[in-house]
Structure 1
Amino acid sequence: MIARFLPLALLLTSAVSAQPVSAPWPDTLSAEAKAGLAANDARTPVPPDFKARRAWSEAVQQEVGQPRLARYGVAMEDRHIAGVPVRIFTPKTMREEGALLLNLHGGGFVVDAGSITENAAVAAITGYRVVAVRYRLLPDHHFPAATDDALAVYRALLRERDAASIGLYGTSAGAILSAELVARLRAEKLPLPAALGFFSGSADLSRFGDSVTLFADPAAAAALGKLYAGDRDPADPMLSPIRSDLAGWPPTLCISSSRDFLLSATAEFCRALDAADVPAKLLLFDGLPHAFWSYVDAPETDAAFEAMADFLRKRLERE
């Protein structure tokens, strides 16, 4: 089964997620975006060995992430919270409100493909400290290991502040985990975060929409979902929160792009939230691939981070 899910796992690794399509990049893309996508294609291929792939992904995080930390004036610290490794991002200028953001990074449940690149800009623009959970990964750890790690960190944060001052967000696999964490919090009757940023993810691991067929491998997607689920049914609402009662879910911003293989799933979840009378908004970028903000520096990436930060800041200020 591992061999079957590797193609999708490679796509879900943000730094290699410019999946091939037959059409050229549209004229609507900025020159910087086209150059960034070309540079990404020219990177050294991802090694097949899991240990080597994680080292490769960490190297990309440093390559792309360190300039972002410098650009935004954000300090990063590696620590542990509740025994779970985390990266903490502190902006140069902090807001007085004392709110905090919790991030779950992307990487196909296999690697860390976003704990730096997803967070430097968000920390700086919001003025809030960001805690990125470096949760346990496949193939050694299946569901619910990653959500257990996220829950442990969230519980620790609750001992220091109200849930109303916590915002939660994630990209790709991190978006999936963010939704699963909210489902877990509801099941355990714990207070929910003030906001959810659901950035290019899926809330239903039991099936995949049209965009997976267009831009990825449906069989590999299904195999990866089953591997992640372990001995649990992928339709379990703890794995696929869209199958639960969504009334009372935190206000949610969904972001995707028109060449994102998780576009269908992102839009479907946003529509389901709206049907449950949850404040939900879908923001769509034209012509860009999956989770482009994690590895391409361009005006479109700046716009995506501004939208993420604006949403999270406003919801936390409202609470």
Structure 2
Amino acid sequence: MMDISGVFSRSVRVLAVALLFAAPAVAQEIQIEPGGTVVFPQIAFPPSSYYSEAGTNSTIEHIETERSLKGLPTEEFNSALFGPRLERTRASFPVSIEAAEIGGVPVLVYEPEGGVAPKSRDRLIINLHGGGFVGCFVECGGLESIPLASMTGLRVVSVDYRVYPQVTFPAATDDVEAVYRALLEEYPASQMAIYGCSAGGWLTAQALARFHAVGLPQPAAAAILCSGDGLGWGGDSRITGTILGDGELPRTPGGGQPGGYMTTARPEDPTANPVNHPETLATFPPTLIGVGTRDFAMSSAIQLHRMLVLQGVDTRLHVWDGGRHAFYYDIRVPESLEVFSVISRFLTDHLNDDPQAP
């Protein structure tokens, strides 16, 4: 793993939020406004003592890089921000990659170096990449699919679904359904799993809801990372995560480009935001939810976990203290390997649970 401890001249004890707030010289009272809004005085937040120094440095690097790229077109922004991370991921996890088309939808197929073992060739993992429904990172899905293909020894299919502004909801779900239907002709549902982070996590939930709505069998397991409902624009972490994890002032609920994609969605549609529809959630397969405490999506992830538990779904919540949104995309951070290990173990354990599996 690469060392990034010397990347910055500033102290690693300064978290991203310290770029915005300085510790007050005189103690001030916290104000409570009518309606319950809590107003803080100026305050500094040190890094979490449970988070690695490399993770803290990665957060600072992300914020400073993102700020330097503001105003660039989405494709250029993603290339500059995520390109170096993809190169480090490729160097750490040797895999093969092939562009293909499944169900009329472009995909990238990742396999571990040396190919998939014969005993695992009837098992497959579907990845839905992040990107806020407005684009995809360099090599859509590579940051998420490369480590998982290497660590599980399984084939991973990353779906290059359509995004805003070319399309709006439910085009991305349509693409995932088309891929899933085609894969069902080759793989039993009990030997497939699906996962994604951020917009890909929300889309994973939407896809599971769609599979139920159209009568398709659910996959064996799902993992929803750095997401829950509506990409996280609700709950306490909309404030705390945006400040602590991204060094930005909080956005208004429903704001941002993801709302652009979702403008054609109806609130009563269970395939749009499944967390609001208990009868749909009850059909979900075993589901892993993972998030960091400094992720703006933490509240939504916790809410999704809560609702799944209430419906009796086998679900697990993993929270990494100090982690920002999609922190595990940087494989230099020790916690990143933990995340991929947790995902790999959860998904493969459920694939291997099938008594018909070889």
Q: TM-score, normalised by structure 2?
A: 0.78
Tell me by how many angstroms 1:266 deviates: 0.4
Could you tell me how far apart the structure 2 residues matched to 1:230 and 1:87 are?
28
Could you tell me how far apart the structure 2 residues matched to 1:61 and 1:88 are?
19
Superposition map of 1:41-190 within 5 A: 41-43=63-65, 45-49=68-72, 52-93=73-114, 94-95=116-117, 96-98=119-121, 99-113=123-137, 115-190=141-216
Superposition map of 1:1-319 within 5 A: 20=17, 22-43=44-65, 45-49=68-72, 52-93=73-114, 94-95=116-117, 96-98=119-121, 99-113=123-137, 115-204=141-230, 208-216=234-242, 217-219=250-252, 221-222=254-255, 224-244=257-277, 245=279, 246-295=281-330, 297-319=332-354
Is contact 1:202–1:269 with CA below 8 Å preserved after alignment?
A: yes
Tell me by how many angstroms 1:235 deviates: 4.8
Q: Which has the higher contact order (CA 8 A, sep 6+)?
A: 1
**Equivalent position SS for 1:107:** coil
Could you tell me how far apart the structure 1 residues matched to 2:312 and 2:166 are?
38
Could you tell me how far apart the structure 2 residues matched to 1:120 and 1:153 are?
19
Is contact 2:194–2:219 with CA below 8 Å preserved after alignment?
A: yes
Tell me by how many angstroms 1:154 deviates: 1.0
Could you tell me how far apart the structure 1 residues matched to 2:57 and 2:336 are?
13
**Stretch of structure 1 that moved more, 131-140 or 20-29:** 20-29
Deviations 1:160-214 (A, max 9, x none): 1111111000000000000000000000000111001011112357972111132
Tell me by how many angstroms 1:112 deviates: 1.0
Could you tell me how far apart the structure 1 residues matched to 2:258 and 2:56 are?
31
Structure 1: unaligned runs, 5 residues or longer: 1-17
Structure 2: unaligned runs, 5 residues or longer: 1-14, 19-43, 243-249
Amino acid at match of 1:105: H
Amino acid at match of 2:134: V
Which residue matches 1:9?
Answer: none
**Equivalent position SS for 1:118:** helix
Deviations 1:285-319 (A, max 9, x none): 00111110123521110101100111011011112
Amino acid at match of 1:75: S
Is contact 2:131–2:198 with CA below 8 Å preserved after alignment?
A: yes
Q: How many residues align?
A: 300
Tell me by how many angstroms 1:237 deviates: 1.3
Compute the RMSD of aligned alpha carbons: 2.2
> In terms of Rg, which structure is larger?
2
